[in-house]
Amino acid sequence: MAERVFLTHPSLTLPSQPFPTTRMASTATAAIAASRIIPSATALSSSASRSFFSSSSTSRSSLKCLHLHSSSRISHLFVNQRRAEVRVSSGDYATVSSPKSLASDPDQLKSAREDIKELLRTKFCHPILIRLGWHDAGTYNKNIEEWPQRGGANGSLRFEVELKHAANAGLVNALKLIQPIKDKYARVTYADLFQLAGATAVEEAGGPKIPMKYGRVDVSSPEQCPEEGRLPDAGPPSPADHLRQVFYRMGLNDKEIVALSGAHTLGRSRPERSGWGKPETKYTKDGPGAPGGQSWTVQWLKFDNSYFKYIKEKKDEDLLVLPTDAVLFEDPSFKVYAEKYAEDQVAFFNDYAEAHAKLSNLGAKFDPPEGIVLDPSPKPQAEKFEAAKYSTGKD
């Protein structure tokens, strides 16, 4: 899936579960609770991880996108009697427990989307926001009926136990980036915010309009997180078999695997964090964000079909080709779609939009059941992108 960065795995000291909800707090008790201050610290350490989903766009100085400054912070306990909700905030990041998961508010979703657009314009963090949404949804197992045991887009990735999975290395940085938006719009669930951020990142990078719906319910405790090992690898011994094993478990097919792989047009990898790629190339030496790493495409913050062109050609040593990339033109079934997308950006955009929307709904429980649609159904991409079918996307 898109966002394929192999980031240094952080070791976190975050709340392992939210504080219990207080339903019967009196006004006086609430006032006292609201003034409590609880010390907390966030610590980081390093270890390599290799995730198929990852892509890196970083800035060492200002969190342009993935750099996290480690510091001790003060946590505050807030009590909201109206919703009977208790929030524990650790630095810029918070976990929330509520007695009843509520549907996201449509107006707040729209406002949050505008804030995400501004974040993307200033932090260049499209790759990691896509990765955040995909990793929350990508744990889905179609063979498990019960929610939330089946995994999927349920906001569980905000908990420490899941953040510490090797494939999720570095995603605490994405949470740091969007937590202020979550704080601002309390009536937007984490599950919806993760998917809203990913879809908006694709669109703002020049990609297709994703036919999204919202109203996803959040899990409420770390005990509801999926076990480690459900996300794909970047360099497995048998790439085609591995991709099918993981994505078929989610209910996706070969066409959707290849289409989603095309989002790797965004981002770069850093060898010091993942073991993959070069320390620097002519395409990454000047950023945006912190210089360095190796990208899959020349313009690695522009969403187009150039990923398939470069993977097919394999002519540029400054561009990254991983085993899970190369296999798209080696496996007979994958190759049919990879060849098509390399030649036809319109077809790629249409298939990608459908696959991304499907992925974002995997395992989710919606309230209301039919979901919340913010925009009219997008039109096919043919007219919009016909002129750019064979473009490399030069600005």
Residue 121: count other Cβ atoms within 10 Å of its Cβ. 9
List the catalytic residue out of 9, 126, 135, 356.
Answer: 135
**What residues have CB less than 8 Å from 269, skipping those under 6 apart?**
4, 5, 6, 54, 55, 56, 276, 277, 293, 294, 320
Q: Which of 282, 322, 315 is nearest to 298 (CA)?
A: 282
* Residues facing 79 on adjacent strands: 86
**What residues have CB less than 8 Å from 346, skipping those under 6 apart?**
381, 382, 385, 386, 389
245: which 2 tokens? 């094993």
Q: How many CA atoms lie within 13 A of 315 on its CB side?
A: 6
Q: Which of 72, 68, 73, 54 is nearest to 5 (CA)?
A: 54
Burial letters for 101-115: b for 16+ Cβ neighbours within 10 Å, e otherwise? bebbbeebbeebbeb
Could you confirm whether 135 is annotated as catalytic? Answer: yes
Which residues are designated catalytic? 135
